[in-house]
Amino acid sequence: MSVPIDAPVQSPVIETDILIIGAGPSGLYGAYYAGFRGLRVTVMDVLPQCGGQISAMYPEKPVFDIAGFPSVRGRDLVDNLVAQAAPYDVQYLLGERAMDLAHDREGRPVVRSDTGTVVRAGAVVITGGVGTFTPRALPAGEDFLGRGQVYFVPDPAAHTDHDVVVVGGGDSAFDWAALLAPIARSVTLVHRNARFRAHAASVEKVRALGIEIITDSEVSALHGELGVEKVEVRHRVEKTVRLLPARTVVAALGFIADLGPLQAWGLELQARRIAVDTRMATNLPRVFAAGDITDYPGKVRLISVGFGEAATAVNNAATVIDPKAALFPGHSTEKEN
């Protein structure tokens, strides 16, 4: 929870103006905007790479709701956001989970990560998307995790010429099946029901590619010596069993999302989201939030909305850090290159 720190912090402290928690699109745009305002900015994320869900779940998928881009591949969007912030010497703390929040004697937020890193900031902006998301496990595949069984496909080329079995019936399952079909030796999709959660267009695309779809079935076992070699698929009604060749098994069974340690910070929550006002300020001093993790009346969860919220949060944080600072710093076109 947020409490004053009475004793000096023992670990080496990173001093920054704004700490952004979450390196998804909103966080990366917030990093650019903080740099644009002349603020020192540090970005912390539990994932080992920037991009949040885009990098983890659909880096090759086109995104259509970014203003000015009829279509942009997820990976390219993330790369462009990182490049946009690069001139401002953003400090990235990747693979680190924000654990504890406190305030020092001057009221500045102090955040500790699970690796022991301590960051003291003028303000914190939380842009954690859906929070911490944990893949739903494939019970039959736990022993093969990292040995052929995966939850994400960040690099499709790594599965070139593989026999691939995708397990699931949602958009991610169908997207990855379609993505891997041109480069894999074979792709088979297995789903426990005859109905799918995926968009109808995604289902038709997979069917048009000639990918075999096995329904009313579950993966009951994986077999192999050093890695996956065979997948045992059992029909839920007929109880018949098939053995499929496989070198890669993609478990696309969805995710369990929660706010993780942030739930103990004392933030006001609404339906497991962080409540904010029109300044994107939370109920905690010097703590703001933006993007999908926030909630307020009329909230619309789009990447494009998150960009605007991040700019709003940073501008308001800037006036808290320096009360003499202007809320609106001017347009970027007014700045000299």
- Residue 40 has a pLDDT of 97
* Confidence (pLDDT) at 57: 73
Type of residue at 53: Q
Instruction: Read off the pLDDT band of 91 (50, 70, 90).
Output: very high
pLDDT for 135 equals 82
Angle at 328 between CA 15 and CA 33, to 5 degrees: 45
Residue 213 confidence (pLDDT): 97
How far, in Å, CA of 174 to CA of 208, rounded? 12
- Which run of H or of E encompasses 237? none
Residue range 222-227: average pLDDT? 95
Element (H, E) at 331: none
The pLDDT assigned to 6 comes to: 39
pLDDT value of position 133: 67
Q: Residues at the annotated binding site for FAD?
A: 26, 45, 53, 58, 98, 133, 292, 333
**Tens-digit pLDDT profile for residues 114-146:** 999 999 999 999 998 766 667 888 998 889 998
What is the DSSP code (8-state) at residue 153?
-
The answer to whether the CB of 268 falls within 8 A of the CB of 274 is yes
User: What's residue 131's pLDDT?
Assistant: 62
- The whole-angstrom separation of Cα 113 and Cα 97 is 5
| pLDDT value of residue 149 | 95
Range of lowest pLDDT (25-39, 78-92, 121-135, 214-228): 121-135
Residue from 235, 230, 186 nearest 211 by CA: 186
- Model confidence band, residue 1 (pLDDT cutoffs 50, 70, 90): very low
Binding-site members are 26, 45, 53, 58, 98, 133, 292, 333
In whole angstroms, what is the distance from residue 274 CA to residue 262 CA?
A: 10
Amino acid present at 295: D
Helices (H), 38-193: 53-57, 74-85, 171-180
Within 10 Å of residue 18's Cβ, how many Cβ atoms?
28
Look at the block and give the residue holding tokens 């069993």.
Answer: 241
Whole-number Å distance between alpha carbons of 296 and 300: 9
* Mean pLDDT over the full length of the chain: 91
Q: With 60 as the cut, is the pLDDT of residue 337 above it?
A: no
Q: Which residue has the higher pLDDT, 200 or 152?
A: 200
Residue 2 has pLDDT above 50, yes or no: no
What pLDDT does 312 receive? 98
Using the predicted structure, report yes or no on whether residue 204 has a pLDDT greater than 80: yes
Whether the pLDDT of residue 306 is over 60: the answer is yes
Q: Average of pLDDT values for 270-284? A: 94
Q: Using the predicted structure, report yes or no on whether residue 215 has a pLDDT greater than 80.
A: yes
pLDDT at 210: 96
% helix / strand / coil in the chain, to the nearest 5?
25, 30, 45
Residue 91: closest CA among 37, 36, 23: 23
Whether the predicted pLDDT of 217 surpasses 80? yes
Strand, coil or helix: 200: helix
d(CA 225, CA 239): 26
Query: What residue ranges define each of the domains in the chain, with the CATH number in brackets?
Result: 13-133+256-334 (3.50.50.60), 137-253 (3.50.50.60)
- Give me the mean pLDDT over the 143-162 stretch: 91
